[in-house]
Homo-oligomer: A and B are copies of this chain.
Amino acid sequence: MKLNVGILGATGLTGAELVRLLLRHPQVEITWLSSESQAGTNYGQVYPAFSSRLPEEVAKLIPMEQAWKTAPDAVFSCLPHAASAEAIEPFLKNGKTKVVDLSADFRISDASIYGSTYGHKHPHPERLSEAVFGLSEIHRERIAKSKLIANPGCYSTSVLLPLIPLLRDGVIRKEGIIVDSKSGISGMGKKATEASHFVFRNENFAAYKVGDQHRHLPEIQEQLTIATGSAVAPLFTPHLVPMERGILSTIYADLAEGKTSADAEACWNKAYAGSAFVKVVQEFPATADVAHSNECRFKAYQPSGTTKLIIVSVLDNMVKGASGQALQNMNLMFGLGETLGLL
């Protein structure tokens, strides 16, 4: 028996990545793909790569109204924030469907922080307490029991996986953490803007939302704060790299008294023993090492004569940073093998 799966907002980049992954998953059957702006269109026209890879009735994009009349086993929402919380509500109410929300709507537990970050009132604050932050390796047990997963931001995943165990075990100090992240252009989403035009991104490297301005920072702060039990507020500067996919985060932290990079590595090895998708590596990883994979890899280095720890962390922003982790979360929610369809 395969799981029936629907995708809300299937025409975006994370939607397409999900379709790609689901087509390889042995226990899943896609039942519908929805899109408001392109309802009625065949998915193969939107993404020629998928032409004739889906049954015709599935390939034909349906509007949300039609999707709401169904109750699949699982629904992934690739809609923008606010729209997403509205669109998944009928599924949360049908008593059957489990939801993985790839938008930011349920990542931050405090509706007022959500409001100031995203510039509008939360559409369903009453759902916030039900949602589990879908950082698979950290919240595995809670994810397995949840019906609503807030899939983490791409930057957040690359930062939280290395930092949470180190902070939890007191290997690094929580003050003074600096995160310098670099992302491929798919992180900008599919919308055509001058900023995403090939000519303006090619042969160009740029910083944006420097220091404290990026929307992923509040969810990073909340998760780090949960891990330590008191407020953690890193600086965070994202950058755009002229390539399609991949995130590399270079993280600078202070080692706690008496701790060394060896302690960091030991802490990680313990935390991620048995986690197939998290790899502590011996050479500094590059984004190409994890392209199209669901892995997050990292390595730490302590410059000689210092008490600083420098961490380099990589993942594919479209896979472990979005659709791959969403599928991993679906596997956990349905008691399937965590890596099913993802190796």
Contact = CB atoms under 8 A, between A and B. Distances in A.
Interface of A: 13, 23-24, 48-49, 51-52, 176, 178, 180, 182, 184-186, 188, 190, 192-194, 196-208, 210-212, 235, 237, 239, 241-246, 248, 250, 252, 279, 281, 283-293, 301-304, 306, 308, 310, 312, 343
A207 B243 contact: no
Given A241-B205, A286-B204, A301 B198 contact: no
16 contacts: A49-B289, A180-B250, A184-B203, A188-B198, A188-B199, A192-B192, A192-B196, A192-B197, A196-B198, A203-B203, A204-B287, A206-B288, A207-B250, A210-B310, A211-B308, A241-B241
A291 B199 contact: no
B199 A197 contact: no
A210 B301 contact: yes
Contact of A202 (B194, B244, B252): B244
A197 B196 contact: yes
Nearest to A182: B205
Nearest to A52: B279
Given A51-B281, A292-B292, 7 more contacts: A186-B199, A203-B243, A204-B243, A206-B285, A211-B303, A235-B252, A235-B303
A21 to B, nearest CB: 13
A304 to B, nearest CB: 6
